[in-house]
Structure formats: C-alpha cells, structure tokens
Structure 1
Amino acid sequence: MLQLTTYRNLQIFLVLMTVIGMSFALFFLQRHLGLTPCPLCIFQRIGLMIMGGFALIAALFNPKPMAVRLLLWLGSLAGIGWATAVAARHVWLQHLPADQVPSCGPGLDYWLDTLPMLQVFKEVFAGSGECATVDWTFMGLSIPEQSLILFSVLLVVHVLILWRIVRPIAQNRLA
C-alpha cells in the first residue's frame, strides 16, 4: 500500500499547497474579487513561494543524503516560518482597536523605489491602515486568519518531514 507520509509525498503535498494557495490568491482574490494585496500579503506570498521552491526541488530530486534533505528542509522551513510570522503580525494588526491602527502610507512600490531594503522591511512590518482592513471573510475568518491556519498546518507537515529525515538515525541508535 502506498504510504502517504513518505519524504517525497510530503514534499509533493507542500508543492501542491503552494500551488493551491497562490492560485487562490491570484485568481480568486485578485482577479475574481478584484482585491489588491497589501504589503504584508505580498510578503506572505513570498514566504509561501520560497517554501514551495525548496519543496519542489526536494520532490523532484528526492535526495538520499541526510545533509541535503536537512538543507532543503531548512530552506522550506525558513519560507513557511517567514510567512507564518508575517500572517500572525497581519492578524494582530487587524485586531487592533481602530484608534491604534497605523495610518496608511505610500504603497510598497514607492518604498522599494525610494528606500533602502532594510527600511522597506521596517515600514512593511510597522503595518499600515490598509493592512488592518478586512476586505473579505469566509466562515468569519479574514484572509490573514485563513493564511495563518494554512501556514500553521504546513509547519506541522514540516515537523513530519523532519521526523522522516531523522528517523533512520533514531532507529539505528535503538537497534
């Protein structure tokens, strides 16, 4: 019987979740609903794509050396960890009282053209009024809340992948 939690199958699952997440964002939210992503949404997408890129490499090549698997896992974990942290910040901004929400500033394009990259990161994470706006909900959850749930599930998948990587060592030590 096909085992669903093999290293390669878990990597394929991560790639599939990246494709689904990005398709939902680009085709449904942006094209169908006409929503424009705020800077924090864009940063979440970048993290998801980084995770998907490392997962795709791992799924395609299915490396056998543990060091290579760990390196790919760390890259993937960094991407989804980044996306999760940004989504958590975004949810926090959306739950601030109206009088504590930061004022809207210039767009991300302007910041990228005029500010050093470190300052752009600082400005994005400070948030803006546009990041605190809830434009669409599904089952009472805003887009960043839905993203945070998805990213948390993907972090759990990363724990499973780590277990797949280190399990042979644990089995050899117990034997």
Structure 2
Amino acid sequence: MMVWNWIDRTPRRVLALISLACVALLACGLYLQHVVGLVPCPMCIVQRYALIGLALLTGLASARSAKGWWLTLSALAALTAGFGATVAARQSWLQWYPPQSVSCGRDFYGMIESFPLSRAIPMILRGSGDCAAVDWSLLGGSIANWSFLCFALLGLLLLALLARGVRGARQRAPAPV
C-alpha cells in the first residue's frame, strides 16, 4: 500500500526515476560496447532506440505538470516499453533457439541504408547470426534477457502509474447531469 500511495502522490517523480533508469541502462550498454568491447547487434540497437524513446517520453512527462500531458506521454512510454520488451523477447528466443543457418548479414545501418524501411524492419526483427550469440551474461541471463526484464518492469510500472492516474481523474470528475 505504501508504494501505491507514493505513486499516487508523486507520479512525476516516478516518471523522472524511470527516465533516469533508462539513462543508466543506456550507460551500461555503452560501457559494454566501448570498455568491454562487445559489438551490438541490430536488435540491440533497436532496443537502445526504444530506451532512448522511453527516457525522452518519461522525461518530458515528468517535466509537464498538466495531468493530461503526463498521462498521454506515459501511455506512449508504456507502448515504447512494450515494443522494447517485444524486441528483447525476440532476441532471447533467437538465443535459446538459434536459427539453423547462421549468417551475420549486414549491420543495422547497412540494412537501413540499403533497403526500404518496409523491408529492413522485418530483416532486423528476424535477427542475424550475431543476434543469437550470447557474448556476455550476468547471473545466467544474457543481455537480451536482462533487457526484457527491465523493459517489462518499466512497462508494468508505467501501466500502474497510468491506472492510478486515470482512476484518480475519474474519482475527481464531476458527476454527469
């Protein structure tokens, strides 16, 4: 109950914390890339874009005091978290059940530059050989597994925030005449 009270009283702080969590996750990804030396696959890059979108949407929502703004931006952020979780789940699936033929193919930017978007997006989501590789793990989970967990938790927190915000708006609304 204490958590729900905190969410009810400080939704903008919750949104700011979600934004900071996204920035921290992006920093972890950049650390793994530039310090540890891991090269991100196309699906990892899509997940980074989802994190950037999530950070921007929740950051903007926390900066806006009008309830309509933060509810709308939070709903968009929840959709973005769902998209990120879907991509991470797909990558986890590829890691658990790798494709029969492994070909590294083009990188993310090569796909975007060489093919129309309608053809590049399915190629990215199909994954490539390097999307199925597990180059690093923590407590038995790959980066994709942890990414899915983070997106799912942030998405659930956003949905709880939205449910509480909408419920609170309904309770305060005057009765129709």
Is the TM value for this pair above 0.5? yes
Name the SS for the 2:156 alignment partner: helix
Question: How many Å separate the matches in 2 of 1:137 and 1:12?
Answer: 28
Displacement after TM superposition at 1:103 (Å): 2.5
Partner residue of 1:41? 44
Aligned residue type for 1:32: V
Partner residue of 1:59? 62
Percent identity over the alignment is: 33
Question: What CA RMSD, in Å, does the superposition of the two structures yield over aligned residues?
Answer: 2.0
Q: In 2, are the aligned partners of 1:102 and 1:127 still within 8 Å (CA)? A: no
Matches within 5 A, 1:91-130: 91-97=92-98, 100=100, 102-130=102-130
Displacement after TM superposition at 1:17 (Å): 0.8
Question: How many Å separate the matches in 2 of 1:156 and 1:19?
Answer: 18
Q: In 2, are the aligned partners of 1:11 and 1:59 still within 8 Å (CA)? A: yes
Question: How many Å separate the matches in 1 of 2:115 and 2:144?
Answer: 26
Question: How many Å separate the matches in 1 of 2:165 and 2:22?
Answer: 21
Partner residue of 1:145? 145
Can you list the C-alpha shifts for 1:112-158, whole angstroms capped at 9, x where unaligned?
A: 22110111101101111100000001111100001111111101111
Q: Does 1:32 align with 2:35?
A: yes
Matches within 5 A, 1:66-81: 66=68, 68-81=69-82
Q: Does 1:23 align with 2:27?
A: yes
Give the TM-score, by structure 1 length. Answer: 0.88
Which consecutive unaligned segments of at least 5 residues does structure 2 have? none
**Residues 162 and 119 of structure 1, relative CA distance in 2, 3 Å threshold:** same
Displacement after TM superposition at 1:62 (Å): 2.3
Question: How many Å separate the matches in 1 of 2:21 and 2:101?
Answer: 32
Which consecutive unaligned segments of at least 5 residues does structure 1 have? none
**Residues 172 and 48 of structure 1, relative CA distance in 2, 3 Å threshold:** same
Partner residue of 1:86? 87
Displacement after TM superposition at 1:160 (Å): 1.9
Question: How many Å separate the matches in 2 of 1:158 and 1:8?
Answer: 11
Counterpart pick for 2:18 among 7, 14, 17: 14
Question: How many Å separate the matches in 2 of 1:79 and 1:135?
Answer: 26
**Residues 113 and 169 of structure 1, relative CA distance in 2, 3 Å threshold:** closer
